[in-house]
Chains A and B, each alone.
Chain A
Amino acid sequence: MTCCTSAGGIALTVANDINKDGEVLLASHLVGDGIRQTDLSVPSIHCGACIRNIETALAALPGVEAARVNLSTKRATIRWHDGAPPPFIETLRRAGYDAHVYDAGADVKDTAFSELIRALAVAGFAASNIMLLSVSVWSGADSATRDLFHAISAAIALPALAYSGRVFFRSAWRALRHSRTNMDVPISIGVLLAFGLSVYETATHGPHAYFDASITLLFFLLIGRTLDHLMREKARTAVTGLANLASRGALVLQPDGSRVYMPINEIAVGMTILLAAGERIPVDAKVLSGHSDIDSALLSGESAPLAAAPGAFLQAGVLNLTGPLTLSSTATAKDSALADMVRLMEAAETGRSHYRRIADRASQLYAPVVHATALLTFVGWMIAAGDVHRAVTIAIAVLIITCPCALGLAVPMVQVMAARRLFESGILLKDGGALERLAEIDAIVFDKTGTLTSGTPRLIDPTAVDPEALQLAAALAVHSRHPYSRAIEAACAVPMQTIKPDAVTEQPGCGLEARIGAHLYRLGRANWALSDSASNDAGLVLAKDDTALARFQFEDRLRDGTHGALETLKQDFSIEILSGDHDAAVGRIADKLSLRYSAGMLPAGKVARIRDIETEGRKVLMVGDGLNDAPALAAAHASMAPATAADIGRNAADLVFLHENLDAVPQAIGIAREAAKLVRQNLVLAVGYNLIAVPVAIMGYVTPLVAAIAMSSSSIIVIANALRLGGHRGRDTTAAAATKPVPLNIVEHA
């Protein structure tokens, strides 16, 4: 099937197979009886043929007991006999699939979800059966049958309440113990009192039992709860499924000369690390020997690669591009630059004003009002009629009718619909609270490298370069994975067929060297390619026997749709750029987009700037991708990151967008605002329903039949209103088709 071959073919991989075995072993776990299990994240699985290709390729490896692909999570699970791990990743790459080790330890089985689903199933079963019995009672069954049906209903309701109600009782109890209230408190009290009263009615052969009301209530509320959980879970697995790009360990040269793959946490200061090209620096280290180019875009936001020579200090997390390096570690993992960033991020998070979700704020007001009303009703009827039984019945009817069923369903239902629409536009939402916060923002801060720009350099004005020189340069460039080489390769539309350079060698930190006939060609830094050049230009030079043939200048390319997205956003928001890159590089981009900017920002500086904007009374959306953005992402009121972001940034962000196009930002804000409007409408509907129903309940006219109809109809109204959010889809897809989003390959950010 074509979808697979293309997907596998496009994925550019930075090959670093050498240490993969060690990494696979570290991430696997024993599942008993000498069998180990490994989970691989394979983002390019698309169809049934992929399933078969991957399963047959893996199962054919010696030592593999079974392999199973999960298409929904885009993951492959392999069981193999303990020993040296078979070459899983290598095998998959040969089959055309990019695979990353997936840490199964981080993915504890989601017990909360299966508990909710089970509770929902039991409540659904009980509600439908009790409702069946209730209908015959309402339609006038004689008293003997009525009592029998009440008794059967009680027998069904008791276990269902005990099983399905736990979700709410537990949370309500926790809240009460800390002398707080949440929405689960009125729910639990209402449901339990209704059940208790009904048991009493059944025992005394009374006419009104509320078994149906209490169980249906649980059922509706569990639907809301389950949807809420489902949404968060889906986004979470999708984000973790994006593959863990951070290195898990490194090859350490032992004093006796042997090489051991060690987990990062066990690497001590002064150890000698062997680092292949294409790997990330595991801990802060000094270069002992070797030359290479270093990509620190994720760490500092700097777009141009830097040269590394012996004696240079490298921070953990930067990417080694071209040559192997021998390093001496200068810090342990917990003292490395990466760990500093985590600490900074945690500090930023605690400093962030605590956001309380709309539903929580609503229930904070709601619970006391409801309980006071029920109590007053009881007191009122005691004074008016003096009949305890009647007063209790009416007070409980008030509790049932005001149970925040619509509230519990109103908010999650809208958020699930919004999350679905975001998902269809390639945006993953972490939780409903993030959506509410996103709707409130009025200022946006962008990072430059990797956020406004795609993070990969592009040749400036390729038509100005002599086409023949460009072809020659491209013929050399295919031999390197340096970003500039790739840019030249991409710029050359017609690859050269006639001349084949021989003996191409890469001089890490300098460039490429090749012979064609008797001539020596060099493509690289000016001061290396030309012996007499003292210029320290950022670009590349193509030289033939020490004379320059062509010069190449590069720039970081803007993401697709950046201009359009920013034009839309400028109308409503104040926008600025905070970047760690040099002033010149940031200035060029900022001028092009006519935005305010600050260059050379450190992570703490970005956080401080966001705090400044917030003290002006604005709420900030941070959009960033690098490690250096992570603290700012955590500090901002809401945050977004592209899928290519560093793991830590992706985890800190509230929303992650998968497509290359920056249109995702205005799209997400638009959907969030629409959702906020629907949530408010739903809350108004819920309050309006109570304004009508509560007086009726207080007067004592609410029988079980009325309660069942009122509750169901109010729930259906808020659900129908929430579904309107999905109804706009037709209009949106036509708008989206004009700027077709480019599916993004999830590859190493190089």
Chain B
Amino acid sequence: MDDFLFLVPVALLLGLAGLGAFMWALGNGQYDDLNGAAERILLDDKDRPL
């Protein structure tokens, strides 16, 4: 059992990384216009959020 204890911090760190990524995306406005993002793939122009 003790051999696998190192998995606990690994799991926690991975979870935290995911949580952090989600929080960043939320704050960065990545979810503001989901329909628009889907359509903008088809445009060639340079694309920068406001």
Contact = CB atoms under 8 A, between A and B. Distances in A.
Contact of A69 (B19, B36, B45): B36
Contacts of A51: 36, 39-40, 43
A365 interface: no
21 contacts: A48-B40, A48-B42, A48-B43, A52-B43, A52-B45, A66-B50, A68-B49, A69-B36, A70-B32, A70-B36, A71-B39, A73-B33, A121-B19, A125-B16, A125-B18, A129-B11, A129-B12, A145-B1, A148-B5, A149-B8, A156-B12
Among B5, B45, B49, B50, the one with the most A-chain Cβ atoms within 10 Å of its Cβ is B50
A79 B50 contact: yes
B29 to A, nearest CB: 10
Q: Top 6 closest A-B pairs, CB basis? A: A48-B39, A71-B36, A68-B50, A71-B35, A70-B33, A125-B19
Interface in B3-18: 5, 8, 11-12, 15-16, 18
A691 interface: no
Given A48-B43, A125-B18, A71 B33 contact: yes
Interface in A57-72: 66, 68-72
Nearest to B36: A71
Determine the main DSSP class of A at the interface with B. Answer: helix
A698 to B, nearest CB: 36
Contacts of B34: 72
Interface of B: 1, 5, 8, 11-12, 15-16, 18-19, 22-23, 26, 32-36, 39-40, 42-43, 45, 49-50
B39 A125 contact: no
Interface of A: 47-48, 51-52, 55, 66, 68-73, 77, 79, 114, 117-118, 121-122, 125, 128-129, 132-133, 141-142, 145, 148-149, 152, 156
A73 B42 CA distance: 19
Given A51-B40, A70-B32, A133 B22 contact: no
Contact of B36 (A72, A117, A125, A142): A72
A141 B1 CA distance: 9
A386 to B, nearest CB: 37
Contacts of A121: 19, 22-23, 26
Contact of A47 (B19, B32, B39): B39
Contact of B33 (A72, A79, A149): A72
Contacts of A47: 39
A118 B31 CA distance: 13
Given A68-B50, A70-B36, A125-B18, 16 more contacts: A48-B39, A48-B42, A48-B43, A51-B36, A66-B50, A69-B36, A70-B32, A71-B33, A72-B32, A72-B35, A73-B33, A121-B22, A125-B16, A128-B15, A149-B8, A152-B8
Nearest to A136: B1
Contact of B15 (A77, A125, A141): A125
Nearest to B4: A136
Contacts of B49: 68
Contacts of B43: 48, 51-52
B39 A117 contact: no
